[in-house]
Structures are given as structure tokens and as C-alpha cells.
Amino acid sequence: MFKPTRRDFLKQTGLGTAALLAYPPARVLGANDRVRVGMIGVGNRGQDLLDEVKAVPNVQVVAIADVYRGRFEAARKVAPGITTFDDHRPLLDRKDVDAVIVASPLHTHARHFLDTLAAGKDLYAEKTMTWSIPEAEQCLAAAHQSGRVVQIGLQWESSGALADAKRWIKDGLLGKVTQVNSWMSRNTPHGQGQWVRRVPADCTPENVNWSAFLNGRPDRPFDGFRLINWRLFWEFSGGNVTENMVHQVAWIMSALELPLPTAASMSGGVFSEKDGRQVPDTIAVTLEFPNDLIWSWQSTFSNRHYGLGEHILGSDGTIEHGWSESDMVNGEEGESIRFFPEKVNRPHGAALVGKTKDQDHMGNWIDCVRTRKTPNAPVEIGYQSAIAAHMANLAYRKKQRITLEEAKAVVPQF
């Protein structure tokens, strides 16, 4: 019987040799030079990022690529004069594009990541960095080899709360941290599953470069529901683990300077709305880390009372980080971070409230494109958080605990 290997998988997705390329040099930009940006994938998130990058001084958006031509008009309203493509390759061929923002669906991230670097452009790549572990390894190697500036769309890496948490942890206020608990919760009206989007009337085969969307997945007739609702299906998505857990695990790994998890478990299922989705809406993940630490993450789409947050539990103190809103993009008003001493080990310690301001994640990327410094969410945290997320999903799909070594040996299946 034919047993596919990781090499077969990378060949099928067209990613086989990308990491071995010779990378062209980046254009050297002065402090006052305009940064010319292209975008791949300008759907919901892409529209937000278009607004964000337009707000950064001395940036020009020159071109966008999206397989669904219905996206072009909305983008032109924000950035008049842009050139539009229904394939990312001609955009990458353009000499007047210095840097590229990728906000396409998860299953195309590695393709867009590798092609952008191979074209000699700097990159802002939405999370999760890749759809699979072999792709994450390929992208990490390519980023290191290419020397391009890579910022991952893990915007919490630029948050003031993370700076506060790092400082308190470095100062030893928490003592030995053995457990971290995180959660995220959302809710929707009965009968309206989280994430489900209406398919626009102009989302037709004539208006969509369908084979570019499939990106190596088995060929089939045009399916507008899958194009618009790719998040619900394993072959394009990693569900809520790659949509949201990835933000929180990256934040915790950065705060505590954690290496990759040694093992993962995950249970749950499609409990909230049985609407044909494949990815679970109710989830309990446990990640095991070296040096005596476990991290748990719970998520539900049927109750939003507790919003989203983390408890970092140390022998000498606790960090409580929370958002009253579960919206990772617009929830600013609810965020808080506090430290509470454990009186048994820190009897005279004072409670603290974090006050550090957030940095502009997009502005940080553009700044690094000019200065060649390392951005706040570099490829390494993109890689680490992607591996952690994929380990959890692999454990769920195998219905058993999985170690890092076992997860790395898995050949992805669509």
C-alpha cells in the first residue's frame, strides 16, 4: 500500500524545494523612503490590515492579490490606484513592491510565505504561521536563510501587558511557575454558528480563481461556501486552536520564555451548533512543557461570560491577564493585567497593576523593514506557536496524547 511521506506532502503542496533557493537581496531603504506594500488575501482580516498599514506614515499600498475578485472594490475604496490580481505570483514579480502582507486562509499561508521570501520581499504573515508542522519547519528555515524581515500577525506580542508580565516574571515575583490556565469564550444567537458567513451573490466560479484557492487540495467543482467558510473544514483550517489559541499560547511562551511543548492532549467536539462544521467548537487542551509546567486552554462558542484571559500561577505570586471582551482584534477596552503576591511566600509583597502601553504591531513591522531590526513577533514565535497548535489538533484527531517527536513525524493528510 502507498504510504505518503513528508516529502510527498511537501511536493503535493508545491513547497518541496523552496528552502533551498538563493534569495535576492532586499532593496535598501533609508529612514525617509516610502515603503511600498502589496497584500495577498484581502478578506475580513486583510481589510483591517489595509486600514492599519495605511495609517502608518510614509507607506503606499501599490497592489493586492485575491482569488475572489469581489474583494477588489472594497480595497480600492481604501487604497485608490492599487493594481489588482487574482493570483499572488504577478504581485510578487513587481519590482515596486518592497514588502507583502499575507492575510489569506491558513492552508495557503506556507505557499504565500515562501513565495514572498523567494521574491526578495519582507513579510507580514497572519497567524497561524502554517497549516502543518512540516510547512512550519520549511518556513522557519526559509526565513532564516533569506534574511528578510518577518513579522507574524500575533499582535499581542506588541502588547503592553506582555511587557508587564515579562518584567514581573524576570524580576522573580512569581517564584516557580508550575501551572498556567487560559481560556477564551464566545457566543452567538441560537442557530447561527460562530464564524459562519453568508456567501455573497457575486461569489461565483466566474469571479474566483478556484484552483489557486484549492492550493494543492484535491480538485473539485467550485464551492462558494467552502471559499467563504474555510475555517470550518480541516483541509483549510485548524479550527479555534489555530484561530485563537495560537495568540494565547504565543503570549504565554513569550512571557515565560518557554521552549516547545513536550506533549499535548486535547478533547472536545462540535457541541454548540451542529451545522456541518468539522472543527470542534468546545475544546480543552493541555500542553506539557519541560521543567515542571503545564498549560491548559479551554474554549467554548456557547457562553462568553468569562471573556478571555490567563492565570499564571507561581509559588510566590499570580498574574491575572484578562479581557472582558473575547474579540482579539477590537477588545482593547476590556484588557487588564495584575500581579497578586502569594502571602505564604511573599508576605510583604504588594499587588501591582500593569500600565505599559501597547505598541503598534503594524508600525513595528514597517519600522523594522526600514531599520532591518527584528520585529516584535518574529518567525521563531510564529514557529513555536504553530507547532504547539498543531500538536493540540493532532492529539484531538488521534484521540490520544501526542509527544513532540510523534507530532513531528506525522505526515499531514487533507
Ligand X SMILES: NC(=O)c1ccc[n+]([C@@H]2O[C@H](COP(=O)([O-])OP(=O)(O)OC[C@H]3O[C@@H](n4cnc5c(N)ncnc54)[C@H](O)[C@@H]3O)[C@@H](O)[C@H]2O)c1
User: What is the contact surface with ligand X in residues (CB under 6 A)?
Assistant: 40-46, 65-68, 71, 88, 103-106, 108, 126-127, 153, 155, 212-213, 215, 243, 328-329
- Nearest-approach distance from CB 173 to ligand X, in angstroms: 29
- Nearest-approach distance from CB 209 to ligand X, in angstroms: 7
The dihedrals phi and psi of 4, each to the nearest 5 degrees, come to -65, 145
Rg, the chain, Cα only: 21
Asked if the bond preceding 130 is cis, omega within 30° of 0, the reply is no
- Nearest-approach distance from CB 85 to ligand X, in angstroms: 9
- Nearest-approach distance from CB 329 to ligand X, in angstroms: 5
Cα-Cα end-to-end distance for the chain: 18
Other CB atoms closer than 10 Å to residue 316's CB: what's the count? 17
Distance CA 123, CA 49 (A): 13
Give the residue with the Cβ less far from ligand X, 78 or 352. Answer: 78
- Nearest-approach distance from CB 22 to ligand X, in angstroms: 25
Give the residue with the Cβ less far from ligand X, 122 or 126. Answer: 126
- Nearest-approach distance from CB 409 to ligand X, in angstroms: 26
**379 contacts: CB under 8 Å, gap ≥ 6:** 129, 139, 140, 143, 144, 150, 152
Q: DSSP for 107-172?
A: GGHHHHHHHHHHTT-EEEEPSSS-SSHHHHHHHHHHHHHH---EEES-GGGG-HHHHHHHHHHHTT
Reduced to 3 states (helix: H, G, I; strand: E, B; else coil), residue 88 is helix
Give the residue with the Cβ less far from ligand X, 49 or 173. Answer: 49
Query: What type of residue is 313?
Result: L
- Cα 175 to chain centroid distance, Å, stands at 30
Give the residue with the Cβ less far from ligand X, 177 or 250. Answer: 250
Spatial contact of 338 and 351, defined as CB atoms under 8 Å apart: yes
Give the residue with the Cβ less far from ligand X, 91 or 255. Answer: 91
Reduced to 3 states (helix: H, G, I; strand: E, B; else coil), residue 242 is helix
Give the residue with the Cβ less far from ligand X, 41 or 261. Answer: 41
DSSP assignment letter at 204? S
**96 contacts: CB under 8 Å, gap ≥ 6:** 36, 62
DSSP assignment letter at 27? P
- Nearest-approach distance from CB 103 to ligand X, in angstroms: 5
- Nearest-approach distance from CB 105 to ligand X, in angstroms: 5
- Does residue 337 come out as left (phi exceeding 0), alpha (psi in the -120 to 50 range) or beta? beta
Closest CB to ligand X belongs to which residue?
Answer: 43
- Nearest-approach distance from CB 52 to ligand X, in angstroms: 10
Give the residue with the Cβ less far from ligand X, 87 or 320. Answer: 87
Give the residue with the Cβ less far from ligand X, 38 or 268. Answer: 38
Distance CA 251, CA 42 (A): 26
Query: What type of residue is 101?
Result: I
Give the residue with the Cβ less far from ligand X, 120 or 216. Answer: 216
Residue keyed to cell 503535493: 12
- Nearest-approach distance from CB 30 to ligand X, in angstroms: 30
Give the residue with the Cβ less far from ligand X, 105 or 134. Answer: 105
